[in-house]
Structure 1
Amino acid sequence: MEDTTNQPPTADASLYNGQPTDTGPSCPSARLTSCTPSISKNKGWVSVENVPTPNKQWFVLRVSYGRILKAKTLVEAKGMVYYIPLRYKEVRKQGKKRIITKPLLPSLIFVHASAEQVETLLHNIKIVANESRALLSYYFDHTIHLQDNPNRNPPLTIQDEVMNNFICLTSIKNPHIIPVTSNSIQFKLGDNVVVTEGEFKGVHGRVARIAGQQRVIVELFDECLVATAYVPREAMKKYE
């Protein structure tokens, strides 16, 4: 993602249809309901709100290496709702604090659309002479198989309430929010909890220890896990 060094320290950590999003510490507009996000202004920022939309769901699409901005431009031009989580980092240049942003998951883009819309999008992408792979492709769900073809997996889709929780976490402006792998978690994922205090209030996940710190892990699917910064035990409660 581009260097946003001219932005103030409140630069956001996500892109929602190309706009910065600000759900606030308790994520009031990323409600855990079965619904479709839309964009609305809130105190000068853009927040995630929800209205029901039939026949649409969140698709996970792979982006070929180093081409996340091109993918963003293409999906945006098609008028499709998408989400790209960003990670922001504070750096100092010539003694001044600056903010730079990078994609949190540079090989993925999340698109909210109907199956027909996504199929049309992918079929219209052509591989040019100097490229070996298409810009976008399906991320397949390897846990299930197609009923009419047991040798194939369907495209991976994310339930609205799970995606809303993921957006809630990755929209928080904290440089210690990090992607993790199961190998980096020092013990088996523990209790299901909801954070009750602090900037991560409202985030649902499972307790784990990473780099010597107690954190809450949000799992979008098997290979996509994101960790909060340190969360004290008194700031969470078990969630069934």
Structure 2
Amino acid sequence: MEDTTNQPSKADASLYNGQPSDTGLSCPSAGLTSRTPSISDDVRNGVSVENVPVGNKQWFVLRVSYGRIDKAKTYVEAKGMECYVPLQYKEVRKQGKKRIITTPLLPSLIFVHASAEQVETLLHDNKIVANESRALLSYYFDHTIHCQDNPDRNPPLKIRDEAMNNFIRLTSIKNPHIIPVTSNSIQFKLGDNVVVTEGEFKGVHGRVARIAGQQRVIVELFDGCLVATAYVPQEAMRKEKSITLLD
């Protein structure tokens, strides 16, 4: 039985890379889109993968009501918008055979690439869906800043393209040791800023930390949203100047 765990992902970066169910040996990829390039060969060859800005579209972080991530993805796509739902790949054995199952890495969040006006319409429409007792989607607010016209309110959280590129690069790799983490699970303070120079995580930017007894690279998309690579040896990373991927 072929072990596909460490093979680079061939799924396109722009969309949800499968379904949260047993997928056997392979994890189905999402349909391709015209805006976001494929992660596959470009990542393996060390070529930069970039989300090219389109008009006034930005990456918005939206909350998803409990247990409805599939419905949220379907709803956003039905509105003609791009979205990204990162997956976690887990190894299990069934009847003595190794299989890969996928579950949402961040089950309460969906990343939508659209204009502010489109997202506002998206959220307005989802509140008036018949037979729904709760809104499917809502804003995830940026609590680090305040609205200019209302100092008592926080604006919706938006992620810069550079940060999403890096996050998508990491979370598109089919490795079961990529995990979401909290600051409490990091055994010492986040250290040097590095870029991984070798292996399946090549091109990922982040900070070095020790988790579960292993040296890993932490990608922090926004405050409280941290994802860790699998083990990365010292010789497979290069220290770089401090970088800011958040607005």
Q: Shorter-normalised TM-score: what interval?
A: 0.7 to 0.9
Contact 1:122/1:136, CA 8 A, preserved across alignment: yes
- The structure with more strand, counted as a fraction of residues: 1
Gaps (5+ residues) in structure 2? Answer: 1-18, 242-247
- Alignment partner, residue 54 of structure 2: 53
2:14 matched residue in structure 1: none
- After TM superposition, the score normalised by the length of structure 2 is 0.82
Structure 1: which 5+ runs fail to align? Answer: 37-50
Alpha-carbon shift at residue 130 of structure 1 (Å): 6.9
Shift of 1:198: 0.5
State how far apart, in whole Å, the 1-side matches of 2:27 and 2:46 are.
19
Q: Aligned residues, how many?
A: 219
Can you list the C-alpha shifts for 1:186-230, whole angstroms capped at 9, x where unaligned?
Answer: 111000000001100000000000011000000000110000000
Q: Match of 2:75, SS?
A: helix
SS at structure 1 position matched to 2:126: coil
CA–CA distance in 1 between the matches of 2:130 and 2:79?
A: 23
Question: Shift of the alpha carbon at 1:92?
Answer: 1.4
* 1:2 paired residue among 4, 13, 20: 20
SS of residue paired to 1:124: helix
Any idea what SS the aligned residue of 2:118 has?
A: helix
Q: CA RMSD in A?
A: 2.3
In the alignment, structure 1 residue 31 sits paired with structure 2 residue 30: no
Q: CA deviation at 1:133?
A: 2.8
Q: Secondary structure at the match of 2:163?
A: helix
Shift of 1:17: 7.2
1:111 partner amino acid: V
Retained in 1: the 8 A contact 2:81–2:114?
yes
Matched, 1:204 2:239: no
Partner of 1:85: 86
Identity of aligned residues (%): 78
Find the aligned partners of 1:109 and 1:30 in 2 and give their Cα distance. 26
In 2, Cα distance between the equivalents of 1:28 and 1:211?
30
Q: Paired residue for 2:122?
A: 121
User: Aligned partners of 1:30, 1:78: CA distance in 2, in Å?
Assistant: 32
Aligned residue in 2 for 1:43: none
CA distance in 2 between partners of 1:132 and 1:222 (Å): 30
Equivalent in the alignment of 1:11: 27
Give the drift of 1:128.
6.3
Moved more, 52-61 or 115-124: 52-61
The one-letter code sitting in structure 2 at the alignment partner of 1:198 is G
SS of the residue 1:89 aligns to: strand
1:87-131: CA deviation from partner (whole Å, max 9, x where unpaired): 111211112222211000000000000000000000001366875
Kindly state the Cα deviation for residue 32 of structure 1 after the two structures are TM-superposed.
5.6
- Contact kept? 1:25, 1:198, Cα under 8 Å: no
AA at the equivalent of 2:23: T
> How does the TM-score come out when normalised to structure 1?
0.84
1:55 is paired with a residue of what secondary structure?
A: coil
Q: Distance in 2 between matches of 1:61 and 1:103?
A: 15
Question: Is the 8 Å Cα contact of residues 195 and 204 (structure 1) preserved in structure 2?
Answer: yes
Q: Which amino acid aligns with 1:2?
A: P
CA deviation after TM superposition for structure 1 residue 25, in Å: 8.2
